[in-house]
Amino acid sequence: MERPARDPLPTTADDATREIEADVATRLAENPDFTCRVGNFGFIELEESWGDEATIINTARVSTSNQRVADVAAFTDRERQLLYHLLAHNHGTPFETVHFRWRVIAPIFVLRQWMRHRIGSFNEFSQRYRQPISAYFIPDREARTVGGVEVMSEAQLAEYCRLMDSLQQFYERSYAETCARLAAAEEGGLVPRLAGGRNPYRARARELLRNAMPVATYSDIYWTVNFRSLMNFFDLRRKPEAQTEIRQYADAAYAMFLRRFPLLGATMNRVLAEKGGEHR
Ligand SMILES: Cc1cc2nc3c(=O)[nH]c(=O)nc-3n(C[C@H](O)[C@H](O)[C@H](O)COP(=O)(O)OP(=O)(O)OC[C@H]3O[C@@H](n4cnc5c(N)ncnc54)[C@H](O)[C@@H]3O)c2cc1C
């Protein structure tokens, strides 16, 4: 039961999921060079960045001179060599002055690995205030095969999808039942009728029910990170040993980064290659 690679919305798709899918379609159209779909429902966008190679050089030069460069176009070999020298010799702090904000829609098991990167900030979709995203990760044929050997069969995939669907159905059915009980309790005057604001009964029901959602469920985050930490992420998560799914996001992020910062990207690649990176 191989599902097509872009069949993201299950028949049970809720409003939050449809809203996200529509938002992704808009972002892809508006920002085509810095957006990318990943997997069956995943997405990554470089929404904003602050600073550039000139920021790094100007920051570093506070210790030697106050000679500023306006931008990368004004770079001579001196600036290019300094950029390389700083990075190659672990003069790290100037590289912390350039920041990136990424929007990432990924399965929770990918985000769990991502969040191990502690130097950076995360903001995540709330399963307390919102219904979980009803799309879940579906491995395609390539993801289910190692060296030509199928490690998850079609039959197992079909069972996996049934299990995921049933967990979502459990969530939706249970939440609807709780809401019906709450409405009856309000009607009977057993709980206060709440006008507007957060409903603590519903929020608690969502808090408990989200525990049944599997790590294959997609979530939606912002990741704000400086270049030094981003380089570490690329180094670790673009390696062949990194899990395929997070590597796909890291590769997509890397392509966008390189498009926006070709000189910094080339300098990073040179330094990583000299340090023995195998994945360039
Ligand atoms: C292929 C692969 C397999 C992995 N397998 C596992 C696993 O099985 N189990 C597991 O738990 N993790 C695993 N990890 C996660 C890994 O151990 C790191 O937690 C993760 O890659 C984040 O890297 P980092 O600590 O360099 O990044 P960040 O947390 O972003 O830190 C960046 C840098 O800041 C410095 N730093 C940050 N915090 C501290 C601190 N508290 N003390 C001192 N220096 C600090 C370090 O120099 C660090 O490199 C795996 C990672 C990869 C790539």
> In this predicted model, what pLDDT tens digit does every residue of 244-279 receive, in sequence order?
999 999 999 999 999 999 999 999 999 999 998 555
Answer whether residue 5 shows pLDDT above 80.
no
Q: Kindly report which listed range (93-97, 100-104, 115-119, 198-202) carries the lowest average pLDDT score.
A: 198-202
Q: Is the CB of 118 under 6 A from ligand 1?
A: yes
Q: How many CA atoms within 13 Å lie on the side-chain side of 121?
A: 6
Answer whether residue 124 shows pLDDT above 70.
yes
- Residues in CB range of 48: below 8 A, 6 or more apart: 100, 101
Task: Assess whether 237 carries a catalytic annotation.
Answer: yes
Q: Which pairs from 138-143 meet CB under 8 Å and 24+ separation?
A: 138/3, 138/39, 138/40, 140/2, 140/5, 140/39, 140/40, 141/2, 143/244, 143/245
214 burial via Cβ count (<10 Å: 0-12, 13-18, 19+): middle
Which ligand 1 atom is at minimum distance from the Cα of 243? Answer: 1
Q: Which residue in the list 103, 144, 206, 237 is annotated as catalytic?
A: 237
Cα dihedral angle (225, 22, 112, 142), rounded to 10 degrees?
-110
Q: Is the CB of 236 under 6 A from ligand 1?
A: yes
Residue nearest to atom 30 of ligand 1 (CA): 117
- In eight-state DSSP terms, residue 242 is S
Answer whether residue 1 shows pLDDT above 60.
no
Q: Is the dihedral of CA 31, 33, 39, 40 positive or negative?
A: positive
What pLDDT is attached to residue 276?
85
Give residue-wise pLDDT tens across range 39-48.
Answer: 999 999 999 9
Q: What is the pTM of this model?
A: 0.93
Q: Is the CB of 119 under 6 A from ligand 1?
A: yes
Give residue-wise pLDDT tens across range 183-235.
Answer: 999 999 998 888 777 889 999 999 999 999 999 999 999 999 999 999 999 99
H or E segment to which residue 100 belongs: strand 99-107
To the nearest 5 percent, what fractions of the chain are helix, strand and coil?
A: 55, 15, 30
Which ligand 1 atom is at minimum distance from the Cα of 236? Answer: 53
- Compute the distance from residue 12 Cα to the ligand 1 centre, in Å: 37
